[in-house]
Amino acid sequence: MPKAIVFDLDGTLADSSHCIVASMHIVAEQMNLPSVSDHAIEDLIGKPLSVMFPSLYNTTPAQTKEAINRYRIEYVELTKTEEQLFDGVIPMLKALKAHGYKLAIATGKNQEGAENASARQGLTPYFDSIHGILPDTPGKPDPAVLVRAMRALGTPAEECIMVGDTTYDMQLAQAVGVKAIGVDWGVHSRDKLEACGVSVMGSVQELQQHLTSS
């Protein structure tokens, strides 16, 4: 029986993907990088910035470092007015805590970004631990961040559920034997998520009902 739930952050709990896309475009313009589509950026959300920039813009290591530094400034500025939780997230978290679940976040942000974003959105009190990508460790879809979350919760794979909006979330969960659940209000389509062989929820309320009936 599941005892812990690990959530992705952007696109799953927080409606912040548009901030990511806009920040990438702003940095590309600042650095005279080639233009790419919103869809191209959205398709890589969940992977580390150190992967996104070279993949999208073919940046050199030096350019990637500069781009990441610029991105962090622009992203934080945008979140002041553009970032919000999806409707129903806080009531869902309260219900899950009341149901007895341990809760954690495993995001593709770095650790500082994960902690800052969680605090900024009022999520921190509802989670037992919050995990981003640490220096010199791989990002999603490598399961390292999920493994850290499970260890912090003291929960084995068979007692854990991973909830996310991207195929990367599904893949990292499946890589370590964790049940994965997709949500279709993020950046990857229902079809893409279902192709991973997982159940996909269509609303926060549906997700809450599914998890509290387990």
pLDDT at 187: 92
- Fold observed for domain 17-82: DNA polymerase; domain 1 (1.10.150)
Q: Confidence class of residue 98 from pLDDT cuts 50, 70 and 90?
A: very high
Write out the residue limits of the CATH 1.10.150.240 domain(s) in the chain: 17-82
Q: pLDDT tens across 2-44, in order?
A: 899 999 999 999 998 899 999 999 999 999 999 999 999 999 9
Distance CA 179, CA 150 (A): 13
Average pLDDT over residues 139-152: 96
CATH architecture, domain 4-15+84-212:
3-Layer(aba) Sandwich (3.40)
Which ranges constitute the DSSP H helices of 47-138?
A: 49-57, 61-82, 89-98, 111-120
pLDDT at 80: 85
pLDDT at 1: 78
CA distance from start to end of the chain: 8
pLDDT at 2: 87
Strand-pairing partners, residue 45, are: 47
The model's pTM is: 0.90
Q: Does residue 97 have a pLDDT over 80?
A: yes
Average pLDDT over residues 186-211: 97
Write out the residue limits of the CATH 3.40.50.1000 domain(s) in the chain: 4-15+84-212
Q: pLDDT tens across 56-79, in order?
A: 999 999 999 999 999 999 998 998
What residues have CB less than 8 Å from 51, skipping those under 6 apart?
Answer: 44, 139
Average pLDDT over residues 70-96: 94
Radius of gyration of the chain (CA): 16
Q: Confidence class of residue 214 from pLDDT cuts 50, 70 and 90?
A: low
